[in-house]
């Protein structure tokens, strides 16, 4: 491995395990500087309290001893002077009787009387309060001692001095306890604090790693300066300043782009709305607001799309796009308003995806087709009226010719041919206008009534009907229905199959073989109607679904007007599918229908 690659790998590992050690060391030093004096101060206070407790205990014992002695002397009716003179000289205790003037009346450590007592703070305190004590160095015992005085009368105080040589031993034992127990516990607490601080500041490592990535965009001098500072917070501050500058630039750019996008949206004539994955409205243009948001309150508060639309079909279409991401189109949706009792829109909904191809929302574009709807309605009404007006006289003509046909024996034989042509052409004209009217109705149909259909049952029913229409032909209709259930409008799908199967019988000669099959492929339903007839050349196959287009002379002599396959194509398109033909001359034709497996919105 190359040296540069090793260095790059080490750098990546360093960034993954990055930690603010400089900050940690500063906190450790600062806490140690604070912790050590605090520890010693606490120990000193604790030791002093312990020492004062021992002295207080000794003083209390002395006071109780002097009070007991006073009670005993009263009981046995003995004076303090006599009691003091009888006391032996012991190395642990010194008793002294002192009068108010500070003169010694009796002292167990000295036989001199009427001497002036120099240090007598406890004596003065006893005369004033009844009892007083003090700790100071004793020259007699050559050790710190407790000096305690008890007032025995208005003119005398008994003083007891006890050396506290045992206090030194007790304090030594106490110091050993502190060193062996409290000090190790304090040291462990200090290291525990450092460990907890380390764990608590570990998340800063990810921040510093991000800062390290920001440093790549910083100037070289700034990077070098930050490196020598050995201060992670300075790095973070510099990186945040740099990020702040970039963010401001990006905000300005975003505002500019937003203004451009707003201008583009406002310049579009169609109505546009966008929602997020929570069905909250992100934005809409002015045309949408004017057409769909009717009140002032709606303009101010429209957090959800269902506040604007109540139609379940529209809401389900948006939800389907948010879920699957597939484009959905709705045709001829009616949105009445106060100004326009009838407003029709075509709606196209597409998904909004991010760079990661994740669906972030949906965009709906409403196309106003009101005028087209009105024109279409006028065309349908026109065709219906014309068809009705023309079919009425044609029906009359047909009726009269049928009457004449029933009395052929009274008509000259030379006129029979003309009578047959009149009847034939009348029926063709009636069929033509029926097909035109049917095609117009299908083209103007906005919604198809979808339901589950039993394809096998439908094919068998159509086969029985067709066989009765061609009694002179030898018909063989076969079916291979692998996909039995499809979705669609029963009447329209039946019309499609009837037209295709009837054409196969009509143009296949005297011996007819028709095969109907169905199967599922690529999540689509496929239906094939095939025959063994003359077939269709490629030249005609490209135009066979056009209106009034007929293939050959054999079809010109038939009753067909060339509208049947055009009607079939429009019906299949209304179902969201497609149809095409595969054929070779003299080898038969196959009409292939492709339909969605489920209902199309």
How do residues 222-243 score in pLDDT, each as one tens digit? 665 655 556 666 666 776 777 7
Per mean pLDDT, which range of 341-355, 395-409, 539-553 is the poorest? 539-553
Contact call for residues 429 and 394 (beta carbons, < 8 A): yes
CB 116 within 8 A of CB 103: yes
Q: How many helices (H) and strands (E) does the chain have?
A: 19, 17
- Contact status, residue 371 vs residue 380, Cβ threshold 8 Å: no
Top-confidence residue, 577 or 1: 577
Q: What is the DSSP letter of 598?
A: S
Measured CA to CA, the distance from residue 245 to residue 253 in angstroms comes to 13
Q: Sort strands 511-521 and 474-481 into parallel, antiparallel or unpaired.
A: parallel
Q: Which two tokens stand for residue 98?
A: 């002192």
CATH topology for 451-596 is Heat Shock Protein 90 (3.30.565)
So what's the pLDDT on residue 74? 87
CATH 3.30.565.10: which residues of the chain? 451-596
Angle between helix 232-267 and 21-76 (nearest 10):
120
**Which burial class, exposed, middle or buried, applies to 459 when counting CB atoms under 10 A from its CB (0-12, 13-18, 19+)?**
buried
CATH, range 268-368: 3.30.450.20
Residue 157 has pLDDT above 80, yes or no: yes
Given a cut of 60, whether residue 29 has pLDDT beyond it is: yes
- In this prediction, residue 400 has a pLDDT band, given cuts at 50, 70 and 90, of confident
> Across residues 137-150, what is the average pLDDT?
86
Helix (H, G, I), strand (E, B) or coil at 529: strand
Which residue would you say has higher pLDDT here, 526 or 544? 526
Residues in the chain: 601
**This model's pTM is above 0.85:** no
Residue 58 banded pLDDT, cuts 50, 70, 90? confident
Name the residue with tokens 């920001």: 214
What percentage of the chain carries pLDDT values higher than 90? 4
Residue limits of CATH 1.10.287 in the chain: 374-444
Q: Which pLDDT does position 339 carry in this prediction?
A: 57
Quickly count: other Cβ atoms within 10 Å of residue 550's Cβ.
Answer: 18
User: DSSP characters for 314-368?
Assistant: HHHHHHHHHHH---EEEEEEE---SS-S--EEEEEEEEEE-TT--EEEEEEEEEE
pLDDT at position 215 is 52
Does residue 12 have a pLDDT over 70?
A: no
* CB contact set of 187 (below 8 Å; sequence gap of 6+): none
Q: Return the CATH fold of 80-165.
A: Beta-Lactamase (3.30.450)
The contacts of residue 218 (CB under 8 Å, 6+ apart) are 226, 238, 239, 242
Considering only residues 340 and 61, tell me which one the structure prediction assigns the higher pLDDT: 61
Chain position carrying tokens 């002294």:
96
SS3 120: coil
Is the pLDDT higher at 384 or at 354? 354
Each residue's pLDDT tens digit, 64-103 = 888 898 888 888 888 888 888 888 888 788 888 888 888 8
* Residue 279 region by backbone torsions, left for phi larger than 0, else alpha for psi between -120 and 50, else beta: left
Task: Please determine, for residue 148, whether its predicted confidence score (pLDDT) is greater than 70.
Answer: yes
Tokens of 312: 């379940």
Give the range among 34-48, 116-130, 293-307, 332-346 with minimum mean pLDDT.
293-307
Helix (H), strand (E), coil (C) string for 253-302? HHHHHHHHHHHHHHHCCCEEEEEECCCEEEEECHHHHHHHCCCHHHHHCC
Residue corresponding to tokens 């303090």: 80
**Tokens describing residue 554:** 């054999």
**Residue 553: pLDDT above 60?**
no
pLDDT value of position 265:
74
161-180 average pLDDT score: 77
pLDDT band, very low/low/confident/very high, at 527 (cuts 50, 70, 90): very high
| Integer Rg of the chain from CA | 57
The per-residue pLDDT for 11 is: 40
**Residue 560 CA, distance from chain mean position:** 61
- Residue pair 514/503 in contact (Cβ under 8 Å)? The answer is no
Predicted pLDDT of residue 356: 81
The predicted pLDDT at position 538 comes to 79
DSSP string covering 26-40: HHHHHHHHHHHHHHH
The residue among 374 and 432 whose pLDDT is bigger is 374
Q: What is the pLDDT of residue 551?
A: 66
Residue 340 scores a pLDDT above 80:
no
Question: What's residue 528's pLDDT?
Answer: 92
Locate CATH 3.30.450.20 in the chain.
80-165, 268-368
Residues ≥6 apart with Cβ < 8 Å to 196 = none
Residue-averaged pLDDT of the chain? 79
Residue 111 pLDDT > 70, yes or no? no
Residue the block writes with tokens 């450790």 = 28
Highest mean pLDDT among 40-44, 212-216, 500-504: 500-504
Q: What are the strands of the beta sheet with 474-481, ordered from one edge?
A: 474-481, 511-521, 524-531, 589-596, 578-583
Answer whether residue 16 shows pLDDT above 50: no
What is the residue-wise DSSP string for 137-199? EETTTTEEEEEEEEEEETTEEEEEEEE-HHHHHHHHHHHHHIIIIIHHHHHHHHHHHHHHHHH
If we measure between CA atoms, which residue out of 228, 445, 414 comes closest to residue 331?
Answer: 445
pLDDT tens-digit series, residues 479-504 = 888 888 888 888 888 888 988 888 88
- Give the list of residues 6+ apart from residue 197 with CB closer than 8 angstroms, or none: 24, 27
Q: Residue 39: pLDDT band by 50, 70, 90 thresholds?
A: confident
**Could you give the CA distance from residue 150 to residue 69 in angstroms, rounded to a whole number?**
11
Which pLDDT tens digit goes with each residue over 277-319? 888 888 888 888 887 776 545 444 557 888 888 888 888 899 9
Tell me what the mean pLDDT of segment 383-388 comes to: 71
pLDDT band at 24 (very low <50, low <70, confident <90, very high): confident
Q: What's the CATH class of domain 374-444?
A: mainly alpha
Residue where the block lists tokens 């000794």: 58
Is residue 545 over pLDDT 50?
yes
Q: Is the pLDDT assigned to residue 507 strictly greater than 70?
A: yes
Model confidence band, residue 36 (pLDDT cutoffs 50, 70, 90): confident
Query: Does residue 484 sit in helix, strand or coil?
Result: coil
What is the model's pLDDT at position 349? 92
Question: What pLDDT, on a 0 to 100 scale, did the predictor assign at position 350?
Answer: 92
């Amino acid at each position: 491995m190359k040296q540069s690659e090793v260095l790059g790998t080490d750098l990546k590992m360093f960034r993954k395990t990055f930690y603010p050690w400089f900050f940690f060391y500063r906190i450790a030093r600062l806490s140690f500087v604070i912790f050590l004096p605090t520890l010693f101060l606490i120990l000193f206070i604790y030791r002093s309290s312990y020492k004062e407790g021992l002295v207080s205990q000794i003083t209390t014992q002395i006071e109780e001893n002097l009070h007991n002695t006073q009670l005993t002397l009263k009981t046995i009716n003995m004076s303090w002077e006599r009691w003091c003179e009888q006391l032996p000289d012991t190395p642990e205790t010194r008793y002294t009787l002192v009068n108010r003037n500070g003169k010694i009346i009796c002292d167990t450590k000295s036989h001199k009387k009427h001497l002036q007592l120099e240090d007598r703070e406890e004596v003065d305190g006893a005369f004033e309060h009844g009892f007083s004590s003090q700790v100071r160095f004793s020259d007699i015992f050559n050790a710190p001692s407790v000096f305690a005085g008890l007032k025995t009368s208005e003119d005398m105080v008994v003083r007891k001095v006890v050396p506290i040589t045992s206090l030194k031993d007790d304090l030594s034992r106490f110091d050993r306890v502190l060193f062996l127990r409290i000090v190790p516990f304090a040291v462990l607490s200090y290291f525990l604090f450092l460990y907890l601080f380390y764990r608590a500041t570990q998340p800063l490592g990810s921040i510093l790693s991000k800062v390290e990535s920001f440093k790549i965009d910083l100037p070289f001098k700034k990077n070098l300066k930050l490196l020598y500072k050995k201060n992670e917070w300075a790095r973070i501050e510099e990186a945040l300043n740099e990020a702040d500058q970039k963010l401001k630039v990006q905000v300005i750019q975003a505002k500019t782009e937003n203004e451009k996008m707003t201008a583009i949206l406002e310049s579009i004539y169609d109505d546009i709305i966008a929602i997020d994955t929570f069905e909250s409205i992100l934005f809409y243009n002015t045309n949408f607001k004017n057409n769909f948001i009717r009140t002032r309150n709606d303009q101010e508060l429209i957090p959800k799309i269902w506040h604007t639309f109540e139609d379940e079909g529209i809401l389900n279409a948006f939800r389907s796009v948010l879920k699957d991401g597939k484009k959905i189109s709705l045709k001829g949706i009616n949105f009445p308003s106060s100004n326009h009792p009838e407003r029709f829109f075509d709606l196209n909904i597409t998904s909004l995806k991010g760079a990661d191809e994740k669906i972030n929302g949906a965009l709906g574009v409403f196309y106003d087709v009101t005028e087209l709807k009105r024109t279409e309605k006028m065309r349908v009404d026109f065709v219906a009226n014309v068809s009705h007006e023309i079919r009425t006289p044609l029906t009359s003509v047909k009726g009269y010719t049928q009457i004449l046909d029933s009395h052929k024996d009274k008509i000259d034989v030379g006129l029979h041919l003309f009578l047959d042509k009149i009847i034939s052409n009348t029926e063709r004209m009636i069929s033509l206008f029926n097909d035109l009217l049917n095609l117009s109705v299908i083209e103007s149909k906005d919604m198809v009534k979808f339901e589950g259909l039993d394809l096998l049952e439908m094919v068998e029913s159509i086969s029985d009907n067709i066989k009765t229409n061609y009694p002179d032909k030898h018909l063989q209709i076969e079916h291979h229905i692998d996909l039995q259930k499809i979705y669609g409008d029963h009447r329209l799908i039946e019309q499609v199959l009837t037209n295709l199967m009837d054409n196969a019988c009509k143009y296949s000669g005297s011996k007819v073989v028709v095969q109907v099959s169905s199967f599922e492929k690529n999540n689509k339903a496929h239906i094939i109607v095939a025959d063994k007839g003359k077939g269709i050349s490629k030249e005609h196959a490209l135009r066979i679904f056009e209106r009034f287009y007929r293939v050959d002379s054999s079809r010109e002599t038939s009753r067909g007007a060339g509208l049947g396959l055009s009607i079939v194509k429009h019906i299949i398109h209304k179902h969201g599918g497609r149809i095409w033909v595969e054929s070779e001359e003299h080898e038969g034709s196959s009409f292939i229908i492709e339909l969605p497996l489920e209902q199309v919105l």
